[in-house]
Structure 1
């Protein structure tokens, strides 16, 4: 009886529920990097993974799209925001993960988000940042250089690093514009999966596919995680968390994504880390914490 009462009180507290949702999302996003790295190492191509993700999401989000008031949204704004969190982001990420380890990708993609965010805010809105945030950005950039390794390693994997930087850039644009245009979770759920599925289908159709050679279990795992858990469930949790604990607090939770990704990559993908890479992960996490901290 007492446990039931405590559980009811917990569920009735939106701040607690939003905080638990934020913790859940940290593991989901970290798991997404791990699963995507495993996916591109299978017979599936980056285009296959992208089509599986948005095709599955579009099917499950179709009831929301059919009931959505499309007259209230400016189509070109919806398309731009959808692409920022859509197939350009996933294709950049998947091509980067072909050659870059999961832990390193977690640092590059997540670490550069506030860097691009500050740049966009300055170029578009003329907003200046604080000394503390500039210090945090310095730590993050240093962490990125450490994760990339020696100049020869950067030269050998330049395409993968460039793809991950591109993924961070387009996702930063998505976060910036989604907030600026005032889109809600209902808006994003209605048009984001559908627009990406429709626009990417011809691209996937004209590309080589490894789906016929892929076990059904692998396809179902990618479809359920990429298309349902990441594209729909975490989308709803993100907007709920922002509403009740704020975007700044949520970003503090997300600062642990590189660290959690590294922990998961070791037992799941058997990707070991050097001392310098561990230092890079710690520096990135500290930089993100400094950036997100209030005051």
Structure 2
């Protein structure tokens, strides 16, 4: 039985995709807790990419930098780099973790579909359009009534920004053919080199944070999310494909809401629960439709 598991890439990829769902959800929870401590969004960002750079240093030193298209590497790095984390962290200062799971992860297919249409001239199916409408409806529900715009509007805009830049990373990373080794080698390094000067100019709360918090953020943000999750994602993409992987990711908003309720004691209204379920349904429909389309074309 053990030997079967070890030699079955489909099973291992599925297990990795399931783990990724919890890693991504846990990242939202940990980041929400982090920005409510003495740590600033700039602190969390420098901890993330500083740690990731140290861990990925062996890959970076052995990497053939001469073959790299620098402008493409910078664009992809920023898509999954400090613009994404800064948008996310500032958004999480005022928006609950469960809401962030819907806004950031739920909106990912929308700019992805727009980029595919504009760049690749790829038309979407009716089922996918329905899925997009469900996702947008879920986001409207999670935002609540218009009276909340004054208190949460900036946070929502920040999370929208996070979703937009991360979509560009997924689209361009695949289009330009970057591999796991490429991204491991240049993404942390490029981000820490560009962001570090800015961090020195800002106020920091690192000196006031307990060592336990710093170690937790460094290990989760810099190692689990930036290194291990990246390896799991590329392994799963290779063996089960992007569409199947995205089906697993469709449960991120739901899992995030459950974890936020358990860990952060964030209570949800009936409308927010409906929004989370609607977003998960829309993401699942979007991913499932894409998988069916891929199967028919192969």
Q: TM-score, normalised by structure 1?
A: 0.98
Give 1:195 deviation, angstroms: 0.5
Give 1:155 deviation, angstroms: 3.3
Give 1:153 deviation, angstroms: 1.0
Of residues 274, 278, 282, the one that matches 2:277 is 282
Of residues 59, 65, 82, the one that matches 1:64 is 59
Listed one character per residue, the Cα deviations across residues 119-140 of structure 1 (whole Å, up to 9, x for unaligned) are: 1111122211000000000000
Is it true that 1:53 corresponds to 2:48 in the alignment? yes
Of residues 244, 249, 258, the one that matches 1:249 is 244
Give 1:154 deviation, angstroms: 2.6
Is it true that 1:105 corresponds to 2:74 in the alignment? no
Question: Following the alignment from structure 2 to structure 1, what is the Cα–Cα distance between the partners of residues 262 and 106?
Answer: 23
Question: Following the alignment from structure 1 to structure 2, what is the Cα–Cα distance between the partners of residues 178 and 90?
Answer: 18
Question: Following the alignment from structure 2 to structure 1, what is the Cα–Cα distance between the partners of residues 97 and 287?
Answer: 23
* Map of 1:22 onto structure 2: 17
* Map of 2:176 onto structure 1: 181
Question: Following the alignment from structure 2 to structure 1, what is the Cα–Cα distance between the partners of residues 41 and 147?
Answer: 26
Matched position secondary structure for 1:100: coil
Of residues 39, 44, 66, the one that matches 1:44 is 39
> Structure 1 residue runs of 4+, over 2 Å off?
none
Question: Following the alignment from structure 2 to structure 1, what is the Cα–Cα distance between the partners of residues 140 and 190?
Answer: 35
Question: Following the alignment from structure 2 to structure 1, what is the Cα–Cα distance between the partners of residues 90 and 267?
Answer: 21
* Map of 2:287 onto structure 1: 292
Listed one character per residue, the Cα deviations across residues 36-92 of structure 1 (whole Å, up to 9, x for unaligned) are: 000000000000000000000000101100000111110010000000000000000
Matched position secondary structure for 2:108: helix
5+ residue gaps, structure 2 = 293-298
Question: Following the alignment from structure 2 to structure 1, what is the Cα–Cα distance between the partners of residues 257 and 151?
Answer: 22
Is it true that 1:216 corresponds to 2:185 in the alignment? no
* Map of 2:295 onto structure 1: none
Matched position secondary structure for 1:157: helix
Question: Following the alignment from structure 1 to structure 2, what is the Cα–Cα distance between the partners of residues 111 and 253?
Answer: 13
Pairwise CA RMSD of aligned residues?
0.6
* Map of 2:190 onto structure 1: 195
* Map of 1:74 onto structure 2: 69
Question: Following the alignment from structure 1 to structure 2, what is the Cα–Cα distance between the partners of residues 156 and 270?
Answer: 20
* Map of 2:296 onto structure 1: none
Give 1:157 deviation, angstroms: 1.1
Listed one character per residue, the Cα deviations across residues 158-208 of structure 1 (whole Å, up to 9, x for unaligned) are: 100000000000000000000000000000000001100111000101000
Listed one character per residue, the Cα deviations across residues 83-133 of structure 1 (whole Å, up to 9, x for unaligned) are: 000000000000000000000000000010001100111112221100000
Is it true that 1:130 corresponds to 2:125 in the alignment? yes
Question: Following the alignment from structure 1 to structure 2, what is the Cα–Cα distance between the partners of residues 165 and 259?
Answer: 19
Aligned length in residues: 290
Question: Following the alignment from structure 1 to structure 2, what is the Cα–Cα distance between the partners of residues 9 and 71?
Answer: 41
Q: TM-score, normalised by structure 2?
A: 0.97
Alignment map for 1:109-188 (pairs within 5 Å): 109-188=104-183
